[in-house]
């Protein structure tokens, strides 16, 4: 199972290196990593997606707390969250496929940010599932390049689990 960890750290040189070293020593792969400043000066939030079972993630969390400059570690995998990712995607195009690609981009609320005779570059913001779905739809045209930021997430203060609501809607119970 993939776990999403939200880690608050002091914004000091070497913090990310120490965290990455801990993961490497424990044999964990970080599938997604995003780091940025928080609302509080001198504090950064690291959002990581890490594969592992509950007990191994719990052990990893305990190890993270032992590191200098780590202030708070939270496994937000099963907590209602707002999750977003940014992706830039360059796709092959011709005069005959351009309108179809732009139409697909519109459906996914993607924006064309660069164009040439042979390609379109799209900017997509949304949940990671949206990125996968758009990529699958555009594969038939030939994808030249992809750059993704990695997932960022904040817990929902409302506590509303939108994934649960989506499942009810899909079942027709909502």
Written as six digits, the tokens of 130 are: 């949206």
**Mean pLDDT of the chain, nearest integer:** 91
Q: In angstroms, rounded to a whole number, what is the distance separating the alpha carbons of residues 44 and 143?
A: 34
Q: What is the mean pLDDT of residues 136-155?
A: 95
Q: Which of 28-42, 52-66, 149-163 has the lowest mean pLDDT?
A: 149-163
Cα–Cα distance, 149 to 86 (Å, whole number): 5
Q: What confidence score (pLDDT) does residue 157 get?
A: 85
Partners of residue 13 on adjacent β-strands = none
Query: What are 46-73's pLDDT values in tens digits?
Result: 999 999 999 999 999 999 999 989 999 9
> Greater confidence, 159 or 54?
54
Q: Residues 83-99: pLDDT tens digits?
A: 999 999 999 999 999 99
pLDDT digits (tens, 9 = 90+) for 101-127: 999 999 999 999 999 999 999 999 998
Q: Does 169 have pLDDT greater than 70?
A: no
Contact between 85 and 67 (Cβ < 8 Å): no
């Amino acid at each position: 199972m993939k776990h999403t960890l939200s880690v608050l750290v002091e914004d000091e040189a070497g913090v990310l290196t120490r965290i990455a070293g801990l993961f490497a020593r424990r044999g964990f792969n970080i599938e997604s990593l995003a780091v940025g400043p928080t609302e509080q000066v001198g504090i950064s939030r690291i959002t990581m997606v890490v594969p592992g079972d509950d007990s191994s993630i719990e052990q990893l969390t305990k190890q993270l707390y032992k590191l200098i400059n780590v202030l708070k570690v939270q496994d937000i995998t099963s907590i209602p969250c707002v999750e977003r990712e940014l992706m830039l995607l360059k796709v092959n195009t011709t005069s005959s496929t351009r309108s179809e690609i732009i139409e697909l981009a519109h459906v996914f609320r993607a924006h064309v940010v660069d164009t040439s005779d042979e390609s379109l570059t799209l900017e997509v913001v949304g949940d990671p599932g949206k990125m996968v779905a758009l990529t699958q739809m555009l594969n038939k045209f030939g994808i030249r390049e992809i750059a993704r930021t990695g997932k960022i997430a904040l817990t929902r203060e409302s506590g509303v689990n939108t994934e649960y609501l989506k499942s009810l809607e899909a079942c027709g119970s909502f």
